[in-house]
């Protein structure tokens, strides 16, 4: 005891504790008073987890994503720590709303508590600002593009906009300075302001005391232990909910690293800003709307500003009973609007195929870059984006979508999953190109004239006065009359021709069928079924058709893409396909990645 | 109604009115337990994360080729070589990362002495002072003979840390690079 006495005499600890714990609670402890305490608890958790994350986070455009990757994927329990920080931030928004509702419904915002209410509004704003700045810090596609939208809104502020945006972003472009600024705001300036306001908020709360919900149901009690007990139960529930979310989502998401050159069609803010996001899409705020060019300013600044202003003058409106009712009406109308807009926004996205494709692609990129980093034993000094930019699996479908999908499809889509309309398919579907299945399909009289093969080409739709191509006529006119023996020969030729491609997916099958392949090659060389009348193979020089030497192999495909009108391929009969190796349409490395991807390497 | 449960604090006149009964005591205990429970997850996660370096397995020494015998004439002065290795620093994979430096001195036709250039006292970089034929640490003025033994008086508790040397047929000199705990007389490898 003497030691405690000594401490107490030097610090006044007991008095402090007593002041802290023995607050008068008129009408006794109630569950509806827990929200302020849960928020305080949430903030404490954010300070603890945030400080520790700080030890691992590296704020620069070259290392932000990489360090978060390290926290999430390498550091033991790092994903739990980041998960708690992330999901507690998510939960703080409903907690803030509940706290606000309780204050408004119980009339705790009215005189003499105006200042305390304003401090609360300030805390609400700061909390949202901390969330917004934190969203960018992982420097992934989602955070990058969503924040770009947010800062462009800042740029829309009349008169000051341009300067303000530049100060926030730190430059005219996004980069190191954007991250360092957002980090300083997120982890330093805003939390500092938050603590200051919380101190004032709680001090004023103590000065004016609790506003009891009427009618009082029980005799007055003390904060300790009755209310503290209820508060602790609530905090345990909040923590349990956070852990459940962390567990369910396997921690907080980390998307693919930010790439300013790669638009992200699924750029969305965090869920609690989705209502504002949706609001900007309303017709009234568009350029053709009543506000004209000012639509954006009205939607992003003036209307939210007016709502916030209305919230701020609520203590004055609430002096009259009818004013209080008006305030409650505003509260519930606002919550209803928030809910409706949020639901609308999510339903709109769910029904939007491009959005889903973008989300799926972002998910694939994110998984892929993590896989590459693991396989590589870390991330190269150039950064994680470098890994993705040199990855066949990532770039192949993008190059295909950008350069091939105007005519070709890949399994019916553009390589990235966006469906292609039939009218835009003028060249074969290249999924499985060179495989046994693909070649057999081409040689099937019922398939060769479909869009999957030559259905969109001039081989099937020749210019007026010309005949369909020899190949199309051969397959559709001669093949149906094949004898059983010829059918068997064709089967062997398909297997032999497909073996020329040396596809990784067929390596085992090719090794197993070595005897058939040998036979098939012999058939080709012996001019069985007249293939080599047109196609060069072995000692046969062929004719107008593409060469069968190394058909669909890496070299064949590379040369073909470089120039399909080369005499080894379609020569003068080439149907519209450009020579991608010429005029720097595609770099050798790009062609290489494309070829590897089509071949499944 | 219920029996009073005197607690230690209730005897203290500085304390507020005693909670009195068993109910109040249970409530107080529950508060403390629940309060503890709800901060345990972030605290545990934080402690695990902060102490992660303690659980990192040591990599041991790394063998690095530094020079050839031609570069070290017999009877010549010690020369300082950079140790550049492949290394993963947290998330970054470095193909070439400088991790330290080593003094090499020819001591015989096919013999080379190798010392980690980090001072065994507190880790500053030692220099070779040709005019005194000694290694010298500019921080706390420890000095060492060319054989690496500590000159007295010196603050260093042990001599320079010699590193194992391998010389190939072709005369390539490789050293197993390793750092050792500073400030103690024993030569304890640092992971």
A43 touches chain B (CB under 8 A): no
Please give the domain boundaries of chain A with CATH numbers for all domains.
21-261 (1.20.810.10), 268-351 (no CATH), 393-598 (no CATH)
Give the pairing type, strands A221-222 and A24-25.
antiparallel
The helix/strand/coil state of A558 is helix
* 8-state DSSP, B86: E
Q: A264-273, B5-14, B172-181 — which is least confidently predicted?
A: B5-14
Bond preceding residue B166 cis, omega within 30 of 0 = no
A55 touches chain B (CB under 8 A): yes
Give A219 or B4, the one with higher predicted confidence: A219
For residues A133-149, give the mean pLDDT: 94
Give me the residues of B, 77-116, that contact A with CB < 8 A.
88-94
pTM assigned to the model: 0.86
pLDDT digits (tens, 9 = 90+) for A500-531: 999 999 999 999 999 999 999 998 888 777 88
Angle at A230 between CA B42 and CA A339, to 5 degrees: 75
pLDDT value for A387: 93
Give the torsion sign (CA, A441, A442, A448, A454): positive
Chain A contact probe: residue of B7, B35, B45, B87 with most A CBs at under 10 A:
B45
Give the torsion sign (CA, A17, A20, A23, A25): negative
Contact call for B41 and A69, based on CB within 8 A: no
Categorize the per-residue pLDDT at B16 as very low, low, confident or very high, splitting at 50, 70 and 90.
low
Residues in chain B with CB shorter than 8 Å from the CB of A380 are 92-93
A48 touches chain B (CB under 8 A): yes
Give me the residues of A, 294-323, that contact B with CB < 8 A.
none
Give me the residues of B, 36-55, that contact A with CB < 8 A.
37-39, 41-43, 45-46, 48-50, 52, 55
d(CA A459, CA A29): 84
d(CA B95, CA A125): 46
d(CA A427, CA A407): 5
Contact call for B30 and A229, based on CB within 8 A: yes
d(CA A185, CA A150): 15
Return the half-sphere exposure (C-beta side, CA atoms, 13 A cut-off) of residue A220: 9
Q: How far is CA A149 from CA A93, A123, A156, A286, A294, in A?
A: 21, 24, 11, 16, 17
Q: How far is CA A191 from CA A139, A194, A205, A421, in A?
A: 21, 5, 20, 52
A81 touches chain B (CB under 8 A): yes
pLDDT value for A561: 95
pLDDT digits (tens, 9 = 90+) for B33-91: 999 999 999 999 999 999 999 988 777 889 999 999 999 999 899 999 999 999 899 99
Phi, psi of A419 (to 5 degrees): -65, 150
Complex-level ipTM:
0.84
In contact, B158 and B150? CB cutoff 8 Å: yes
| pLDDT of A284 strictly over 60 | yes
Phi, psi of B81 (to 5 degrees): -120, 140
The candidate with the shortest Cα–Cα distance to B117, out of B100, B99, B93, is B100
């Amino acid at each position: 005891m003497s030691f405690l006495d000594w401490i107490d005499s030097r610090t006044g600890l007991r008095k402090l504790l007593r002041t802290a714990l023995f607050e008068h609670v008129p009408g006794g402890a109630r569950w509806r008073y827990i929200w302020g305490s849960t928020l305080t608890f949430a903030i404490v958790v954010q300070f603890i987890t945030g400080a520790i994350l700080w030890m691992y986070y590296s704020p620069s455009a070259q290392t932000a994503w990489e360090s978060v990757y390290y926290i999430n994927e390498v550091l033991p329990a790092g994903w739990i720590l980041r998960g708690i920080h992330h999901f507690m931030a998510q939960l703080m928004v409903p907690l803030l709303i509940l706290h606000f509702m309780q204050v408004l419904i119980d009339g705790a915002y009215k005189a003499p508590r105006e200042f305390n209410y304003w401090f609360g509004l300030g805390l609400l704003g700061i909390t949202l600002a901390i969330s917004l700045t934190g969203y960018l810090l992982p420097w992934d596609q989602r955070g990058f593009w969503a924040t770009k939208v947010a800062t462009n809104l800042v740029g829309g502020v009349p008169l000051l906009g341009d300067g303000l945006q530049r100060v926030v972003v730190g430059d005219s472009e996004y980069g190191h300075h954007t991250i360092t600024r957002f980090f300083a705001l997120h982890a330093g300036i805003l939390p500092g302001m938050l603590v200051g306001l919380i101190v004032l908020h709680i001090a004023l709360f103590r000065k004016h005391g609790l506003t009891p919900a009427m009618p009082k149901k029980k005799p007055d009690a003390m904060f300790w232990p009755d209310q503290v007990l209820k508060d602790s139960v609530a905090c345990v529930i909040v923590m349990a909910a956070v852990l459940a979310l962390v567990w369910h989502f396997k921690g907080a998401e980390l998307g693919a690293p930010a790439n300013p050159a790669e638009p992200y069609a699924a750029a969305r803010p965090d869920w609690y800003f989705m209502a504002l996001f949706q609001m900007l899409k309303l017709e009234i705020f568009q350029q053709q709307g009543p506000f004209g060019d000012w639509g954006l300013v009205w939607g992003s600044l003036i209307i939210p500003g007016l709502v916030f202003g209305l919230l701020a003058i609520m203590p004055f409106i609430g002096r009259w009973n009818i004013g209080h009712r008006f305030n409650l009406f505003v509260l519930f109308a606002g919550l209803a609007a928030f809910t409706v807009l949020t639901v609308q926004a999510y339903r709109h996205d769910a029904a939007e195929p491009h959005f889903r494709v973008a989300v799926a692609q972002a998910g694939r990129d994110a998984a892929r870059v993590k896989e590459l980093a693991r396989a590589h034993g870390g991330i190269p000094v150039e950064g994680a984006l470098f890994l993705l930019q040199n990855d066949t699996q990532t770039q192949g479908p993008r190059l295909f979508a950008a350069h091939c999908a105007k005519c070709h499809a890949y399994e019916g889509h553009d390589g990235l999953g966006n469906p292609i309309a039939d009218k835009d398919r003028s060249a074969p579907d290249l999924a499985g190109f060179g495989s046994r299945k693909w070649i057999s399909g081409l040689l099937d009289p019922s398939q060769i004239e479909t869009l999957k093969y030559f259905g969109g080409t001039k081989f099937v739709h020749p210019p007026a006065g010309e005949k369909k191509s020899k190949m199309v006529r051969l397959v559709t006119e001669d093949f149906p009359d094949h004898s059983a023996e010829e059918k068997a020969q064709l089967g062997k030729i398909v297997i032999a021709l497909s073996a020329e491609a040396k596809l990784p997916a067929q390596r085992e099958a090719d090794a197993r069928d070595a005897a058939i392949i040998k036979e098939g090659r012999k058939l080709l060389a012996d001019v069985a079924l007249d293939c080599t009348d047109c196609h060069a193979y072995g000692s046969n020089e062929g004719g107008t058709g593409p060469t069968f030497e190394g058909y669909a192999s890496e070299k064949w495909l590379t040369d073909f893409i470089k120039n399909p009108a080369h005499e080894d391929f379609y020569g003068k009969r080439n149907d519209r396909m450009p020579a991608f190796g010429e005029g720097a349409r595609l770099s050798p490395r790009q062609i290489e990645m494309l070829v590897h991807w089509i071949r499944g390497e | 109604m219920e029996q009073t449960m005197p607690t230690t604090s209730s005897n203290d006149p500085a304390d507020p009115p005693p909670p009195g009964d068993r109910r109040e005591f249970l409530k107080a205990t529950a508060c403390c337990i629940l309060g503890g429970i709800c901060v345990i997850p972030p605290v545990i996660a934080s402690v695990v994360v902060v102490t992660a370096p303690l659980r990192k397995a040591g990599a041991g020494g790394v063998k690095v080729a530094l020079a050839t015998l031609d570069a070290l004439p017999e009877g010549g002065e010690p020369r300082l070589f950079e140790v550049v290795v492949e290394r993963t620093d947290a998330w970054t994979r470095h193909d070439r990362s400088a991790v330290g430096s080593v003094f090499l001195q020819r001591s015989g036709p096919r013999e080379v002495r190798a010392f980690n250039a980090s001072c065994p006292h507190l880790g500053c970089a030692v220099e070779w002072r040709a005019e005194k034929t000694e290694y010298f640490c500019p921080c706390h003025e420890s000095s060492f003979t060319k054989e690496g033994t500590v000159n007295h008086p010196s603050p260093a508790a042990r001599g320079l840390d010699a590193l194992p040397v391998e010389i190939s047929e072709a005369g390539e000199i490789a050293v197993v690079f390793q750092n050792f705990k500073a400030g103690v007389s024993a030569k304890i490898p640092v992971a």
